[in-house]
Amino acid sequence: MKSLVILISGRGSNMQALIEARLPVRIAAVISSNPEAGGLEIARMHSIETRVVDQLAHPDRAAFDTALAEVIDSFQPDLVALAGFMRILGDKFVEHYHGRLMNIHPSLLPSFPGLDTHTRALKAGVKIHGCTVHFVTPQVDHGPIITQSAVPVLPDDTSKTLSARVLQQEHRIYPEAIRWFLEDRLQLSHNHVSVSGAVMDDSVLNSPKLLG
């Protein structure tokens, strides 16, 4: 059975979704950059080994990346999943895990990379928002896209309500993408990912849509 290491920094809701999806994988460890992360307790409740690599205990990004990679590699994972991991990782670290470092981002990339995606989406006036699972590359939030899910932006949405609706989709597609990886269904070529056996939906999502 393949093994997975999950990296978190906070509450760990996407981590919990991965755990509860009962994927055909051994979750070897949950590693946090924040010793106070709520997700650590959730992992322990599921009898998953936890580690902390405190970002504040290292003088710079390179030192943190080195310490983090040493802990990850001690578990010999087939895949490393970022699940609300709030640290930008250096090029050397990312290249070390090329093709086996995955992230979930709360926007339809390449739109709105970085932070505060829901506020920025509302400010921009977009009618469709969503989330993206992608392989991580040195350019932040620009790695090869594996899967995306879209939701309409409603007229009375706030960043809080929009975030909650997008998060539901994050919890759905992240386990799905990781399952595809575990089943060897993902083919990564340059900046593109194909999924063997995938059924493409050619329907159109319009927002807003007039009824009647």
Give the model confidence (pLDDT) of 36-75 as tens digits: 999 999 999 999 999 999 999 999 999 999 999 999 999 9
- The pTM for the full model equals 0.95
Residue 155: exposed, middle, or buried by beta-carbon count in 10 A (0-12, 13-18, 19+)?
A: exposed
* Cα 73 to Cα 117: distance, rounded to the nearest angstrom: 32
* DSSP helix/strand/coil, 198: coil
pLDDT tens digits for range 6-18:
999 999 999 999 9
Q: How far apart are CA 131 and CA 11, in angstroms?
A: 18
Distance between CA atoms of residues 72 and 98, nearest Å: 14
Position 77, amino acid: P
Using an 8 Å Cβ cutoff, are 127 and 162 in contact?
A: no
Largest CA distance in the chain: 62
Q: Which domains are assigned to the chain?
A: 3-105+132-148+171-195 (3.40.50.170)
Q: State the catalytic residues.
A: 105
- What pLDDT score was predicted for residue 58? 94
Digit-coded pLDDT (tens) for 81-139 = 999 999 999 999 999 999 999 999 999 999 999 999 999 999 999 999 999 999 999 99
- Per-residue pLDDT band at 201 (split at 50, 70, 90): confident
pLDDT category at 212 given cuts 50, 70, 90 is low
Q: Return d(Cα 93, Cα 68) in angstroms, integer.
A: 9
What's the Cα-to-Cα distance from 144 to each of 109, 177, 181, 191, rounded to whole Å? 10, 13, 14, 5
